[in-house]
Amino acid sequence: MASTLLALFLSSVLIFSVLSPGNALSLNYYEKTRPDVDSIATGAVKNEVMKDKTVPAALLRMHFHDCFIRPATKEKDGPPNISLHAFYVIDNAKKEVEALCPGVVSCADILALAARDAVVLSGGPTWDVQKEEKMEEHQKQAKQYSCQLQAKAKAQESEVSLAADAFTHFKHLLLPITDRNPYLSEGTRQAAATTAALAKKYGADITVVVIDEKQKESFPEHETQMSSIRWHLSEGGFQEFNLLERLGEGNKPTAIIGDVADDLNLDLVVISMEAIHSKHVDANLLAEFIPCPVLLLPL
């Protein structure tokens, strides 16, 4: 089975060599710049194979993945390569080569040589390795990739800064409570904690509006729910807040939230997605009825 797999691998190498453009690869590409690169790779592989018999299979698999086409440090952690090992073999060979001739031999060529030597040291056949993974191209790709990461990081920092600036202007927060769980549902507890955290961080005040289509008298655990609201907000550092009850009015909760936000000139409404999933709040009506930004919290 192993010999069959190896034969298939070698066949693919030969086919690729035949189909590649004539000036793309060369057997003696490093003849003038680093003629001993083959022996350096062989020595690095040989040393590690003596310590760990799994190295040859790991290097051959790594070569199959060809994980060094892009900047090597990034590709090592790429999802397709998480299960690979023996990167240290390539790293050691690369360090030795770089010490002798910096910026000449690419990781991809070292990997190709190491994979061949690993097969030979395991008793398999040898083959000529064509090279010319130009370092300047790798460096160009690495530089481009680095620039992309820097640009992305700056954009994210800018977005975070803009979001933070926006929150500093939110001085009046609204926490609608539409479920009648006396101890508050998970989504409501999450919304209460988030509202308290935002208000504490940015110096805002909190208005809580409890909404239900039924009157207070038809809900015997009403006071228990009020106590739960007070407890959760006090846990976030708020013993004082504005509490409104809009019960038994017959209006849609979304419309009531909009009315309260408009009447009190509030800056931000904090709602858990749970309220939308449970149909207490109609997401389609949020933009129509609520005059200020809405922070929807995922579950």
Report long-range pairs for 71-75 (Cβ below 8 Å, ≥24 apart): 71/138, 71/141, 71/142, 71/145, 71/146, 72/107, 74/145
Output the CA–CA distances (angstroms, integers) from residue 97 to 26, 37, 72, 142, 285, in the order listed.
Answer: 19, 7, 16, 19, 65
> Is residue 150 domain-resident?
no
| Average pLDDT score over residue span 160-168 | 59
pLDDT digits (tens, 9 = 90+) for 28-38: 666 656 566 77
Can you give the pLDDT at residue 157?
60
Whole-number Å distance between alpha carbons of 46 and 102: 23
Whole-number Å distance between alpha carbons of 285 and 157: 32
What predicted TM-score, i.e. pTM, was given to this entire model?
0.47
Is 27's pLDDT higher than 70? no
Distance from the Cα of residue 180 to its chain's centroid? 37
Is 82's pLDDT higher than 60? no
| Average pLDDT score over residue span 194-200 | 90
- Examine the domain organization and report whether 119 and 223 are in the same domain: no
> Is residue 95 domain-resident?
yes
CATH number reported for the structural domain that contains residue 183 in this entry: 3.40.50.620
Can you give the pLDDT at residue 19?
39
CATH number reported for the structural domain that contains residue 123 in this entry: 1.10.520.10
- Examine the domain organization and report whether 76 and 25 are in the same domain: yes
- Examine the domain organization and report whether 125 and 174 are in the same domain: no
> Is residue 140 domain-resident?
no
- Examine the domain organization and report whether 178 and 291 are in the same domain: yes
> Is residue 17 domain-resident?
yes
> Is residue 194 domain-resident?
yes
Query: Total domain count for the chain?
Result: 2
pLDDT digits (tens, 9 = 90+) for 210-265: 998 888 888 888 899 999 999 999 888 888 899 999 988 888 898 999 999 999 99
DSSP for 199-225, written as a single string: HHHHT-EEEEEEEESS-GGG-TTHHHH
**Which residue range(s) make up the domain with 196?**
169-297
